[in-house]
Structures are given as structure tokens and as C-alpha cells.
Structure 1
Amino acid sequence: MKNNKKMMTGFALALALSAATMTSFAAAAYKTPAEAITGITGKTSDEVTAERRSGKTYGSMAAEAGKSDEFQQAVADIHEDRLNQAVADGTLTQEQADAQLAAIRERQAVCDGNGTGAGNGYGAGGCNGTGMGYHRRGNGFGYRNN
């Protein structure tokens, strides 16, 4: 009987650990907001692309699915990965990366998912994308403002 309890406890612990590990790898696996929204909502990439072309934002898709918090965290993780890469490449200092990540999280706190930047006093632009253009204009990463 004791042996069965030990086995069941060990099995439960192993299951919990593997579930936690899979969750953390899943969050880090997204490279773009489009990938994140397909993974979080379960929609196909074709469905997401069609909705995006019709004018719907990724944030509104996440909100409709009741997954806004998960989507915001995934996007923050994407930005953090890119910022860490920029620090490793020497194009940003750690202080600059930390400041940009803090700005992203601040914007996410007032993000309603409609893509207008409502609530933050700035004009149109994605809640997670303004000011981050990775060597390009618009939504993405870097030093530019939309």
C-alpha cells in the first residue's frame, strides 16, 4: 500500500512538472503575434489572416476568445526575446532594453485590444507595437515611434 502511494505521488509530481515545462516552452515558442494568437485561440493561420485582413486586431481576437491576458503575456515574451537578442547583438544596452520592456508592459496595462492605443493618450497604433520597430517602421521592434 505504501509503495502504491509513493508511485502515485511520484507520478503526480512528474505529470505536474512536465505540464509546467510544456507550458513554459509553448509560451516561448511564439515568434510573432500572429503565431501567438493562433496558438492561444486554436484558430488556423488562415482564419487569423482572414480576420486580420478584415480589419480585426490580434488583441480583439484574443478578447473574443477570452484570452487577452494570455495573449498580452505571449506578446510581452516575444518582445522580451527580441530585446534580449538586441542586447546580445550589441544594438541595445540592457538599460535600454529594460526601459523598452517596461514601456511595453505599461501600455499593456491600459490595452483594450482594439489597436487604437485608447487609454494611453497616444494616437493610433497597436497596444504592443508603438515605438518598437526592429530596424523598420511601424509595429515591431526598434527605436521608432509610429
Structure 2
Amino acid sequence: MMNKKKVMTGCALALALSAATMTSFAAAAYKTPAEAVSGFTGKTLDEVTAERKSGKSYGSIASEAGKLREFQQAVSDIHEDRLNEAVADGTLTREQADAQLAAIRERQAACDGNGSGDNTGTGCGAGGCNGTGMGYHHRGNGYGLGGYRNN
């Protein structure tokens, strides 16, 4: 009976470790929205970048490929990772990071991938770096939303 408990405990531990490893691998799969679009659409990073520079949003590129929801989840994971880093380095509090992530997810839920791709804060995604926010490429004062336009 004791051996059976040890085997069950070992299996449960192995399963938990496996799930944790897969989760961290999935979150680390893409570092930028451009990489995510490239990965989901099969286009090269250069092709995605060229389309983005022509005015298409990353979301519209993903939507055209039928991968908008997958792209949105990947972008949410990217933002979550970066917000967790900001909490770890003391730039944000956990409450601030959670509020930003909730706002990002709320906008993504309403996003259909047809945003303009400009940086005006319209459409969906992380916002357009209005004011002095803790943008992902625009570190500044405060903790406002900023960063990529990932719609």
C-alpha cells in the first residue's frame, strides 16, 4: 500500500512539473508580436515586418491567416511576461501589472483584427504610449499603458 502511494505521488509530481515546463515554454515561445504573427502565419519575419510597415496591423495579418485568437493569446502572454519582469525589477507593483494586463485582455476581447496599425491608441492591443507610461519600449515615469500596437 505504501509503494502505491509513492508511485501515485511521483506520477502527480511528474505531471505537475511537466505542465509547468510546458506553460513556461509556451509563454517564452514568442518575444514580440511580429514573431508571433510570423510563427502563426508561416510568413518570414521580414515579410511580416514589410506588411506592418505598409500600414497593416499585426492583428489584421493574423486575422487574414485565420489565427487572430492564437495571436491575441500569444501577445497577452508576451505582455504578461514583460509585466511580471517589471514587477520583479520593482518598476511596477503587482496590482499595477494586474490592472494593465486586465486592460490589455479587455481590449483584445473586443478586437476583430481590423485596427489601423497606427499608434493612436485606437483599435485593440496595448495602447499607444499616451503620456508617460511604462511602455515596453518606452520606459518612462508612471505605469500607464504603452508599448506596441499589436492589433
TM-score, length-scaled by structure 1: 0.70
- Give 3-state SS (helix, strand or coil) of 2:136's partner: coil
CA contact (8 A) 1:40 1:71 kept: yes
Distance 1:104 1:65, change over 3 A: same
Give distance in 2, aligned partners of 1:55 and 1:103.
24
1:130 alignment partner in structure 2: 127
* Unaligned ranges ≥5, structure 1: 1-17, 118-122
- Report matched runs for 1:1-146 at 5 Å: 25-116=25-116, 124-125=121-122, 127-130=124-127, 133-134=135-136, 136=138, 143-144=144-145
* CA deviation after TM superposition for structure 1 residue 115, in Å: 2.2
**Among the aligned pairs, what percent are the same residue?**
76
- Give 3-state SS (helix, strand or coil) of 1:29's partner: coil
Letter in 2 for 1:51: E
Give distance in 1, aligned partners of 2:50 and 2:34.
12
Describe the superposition over 1:87-145 as per-residue Cα deviations: whole angstroms up to 9, x where unpaired. 0000111011111111011001111112249xxxxx643511206613628xxxx5256
CA contact (8 A) 1:87 1:93 kept: yes
Give distance in 2, aligned partners of 1:131 and 1:96.
18
Q: In terms of mean alpha carbon deviation, does 124-133 or 92-101 score higher?
A: 124-133
1:6 alignment partner in structure 2: none
Give distance in 2, aligned partners of 1:144 and 1:101.
9
Give distance in 2, aligned partners of 1:32 and 1:87.
19
| Greater relative contact order (Cα < 8 A, sep 6+) | 2
Aligned pair count reads: 120
CA-based RMSD of the aligned residues comes to 2.9
Distance 1:23 1:37, change over 3 A: farther
1:15 alignment partner in structure 2: none
